[in-house]
Structure 1
Amino acid sequence: MTHPLLAIVTGSDSGMGAATAKLLASEGYDVGLTVHHDMDGVLDTVSEIEKRGQRCFVERFDAASPTAGDIVDSLATKLGGLGVLVNVAGTGQSDSVLDVSYDSWRQVIATDLDGPFLVAQRAAQVMVDAGQGGRIVNVTSVHEHVPRVGSAAYCAAKAGLGALTKVMALELGQHGITVNSVAPGEIATEMTGQAEESAYSIKRPGNPIGRPGHVNEVASVIGFLCSPRASYVTGASYIVDGGLMLMAAHGHDQESEDWRTL
């Protein structure tokens, strides 16, 4: 079953979302983009997609809104259908369990779990109605799998999105729709306070690869999962973290690379 080369990528005004939208355009997709506040960023993405000869459309989007799923109807109508959804838009939080306010908790859960659910649910409905299959990729985090001090709401939301991904994979496989998650580690983006080009120069002694990831390294995995090459992959979580999760026994915050030797 071949899905149409029509994609929606949320959070495509910068970072991993923008990189994913550009990669999909390079592979022949027309792309629906969403922007929260960075209009300059999304206009750059638009320019790059149009240089690749593909159509694109932009809508403002608030992942925390209870009507977040409406973005799918709007963009799918403009695109003329939908074959791929990539849920990238998200936020972070840094408070201890003892100190986090309910409002802060709800904002993160709404942005990182409720919004992606509503968007994925509506995208799945559009794909099922069209009867041509499709691909859904939810961008989570290594914290889909491992906890982090000070990130209770974020970890809870990403773990929840990872479990939701698996349930959707079970339910939607009969319709030719695969559903997977991509779980990045530290990636050089605005959200982590790093310029994209610094990914190859920043040193991370406690990471086996020794540096943060570049947005294109995440986008390439997403692109694979959207492609015919991944037609038998569903319910999986692809960890893109330079080996960070392998460091549990050593501690990821190493100040030297002594751990590499016996």
Structure 2
Amino acid sequence: MRISEGVEMIQLTARAFNQDITLNPTLVWNNEEVILIDTGMPDQIDQLKEALNKLNMSIEQLKVILLTHQDLDHIGCAADIRNNSDKNIIVYAHEFDKPYIEGKLPLIKTNASQMSKEELSAIPDEIKYLYKTPPKVDVDIVLKGSQLLPYCRGIEVIFTPGHTPGHVSFYLRKSKTLVAGDALVLANGQLMEPVKQTTLNMDQAVQSLEKFLNYEIEHVICYHGGYFQGCPKEAILRIKEHVAERQS
């Protein structure tokens, strides 16, 4: 889905827990560089190639991978992308999630060694291997908040911890697009806080949303839920109000 000139929301489909899910990586490009934000699951390299082919692009053109955080549905295809290219693709991620992405520490939410037999048995057989041998990829450059990356007229890093310790979102200056990662989800046309069951620190995650209020945002891409057009300010204020009501 074309968001604006040089920004495309890719839709990848996967089967998990007896339902079809859609993941939405973001492709950003100009005449000199092609950037991919998040990469899908490990088995989605063919879908990603097909999506690029529809845009008259290829894996070989990718220069940079930006990872919003460590979850396996975001980092899953990064190693496959590198293996399918003879060029040096630079991988960025926040320093707090780097050791998990590189496999030096087990992924926090899908650590099979810390799961009970009942929890492991509840995982569908087709994805159980991902919990036992999760994807990993080397991170070349660590990200920090309020950092401006010199790609495609400026990509600003927004440190939005809570969903994971090193979760980041990205603001594309040229198109005024927020790539939210899992800091926000889109459900029934409404922007919502991240999913509680998969968010490590919900209070911190909601506090992180306030940072978005400092940006002039016209487009929002949620990894889960897809595209929202408009200013997220009202949604964020509504989320904060609902959280405050629950805590009172």
From the two aligned structures, give the one with the greater helix fraction: 1
Larger Rg: 1
TMscore range, shorter length: 0.3 to 0.5
Compare relative contact order (CA 8 Å, sep 6+) and give the higher one, 1 or 2: 1
Q: TM-score, normalised by structure 1?
A: 0.33
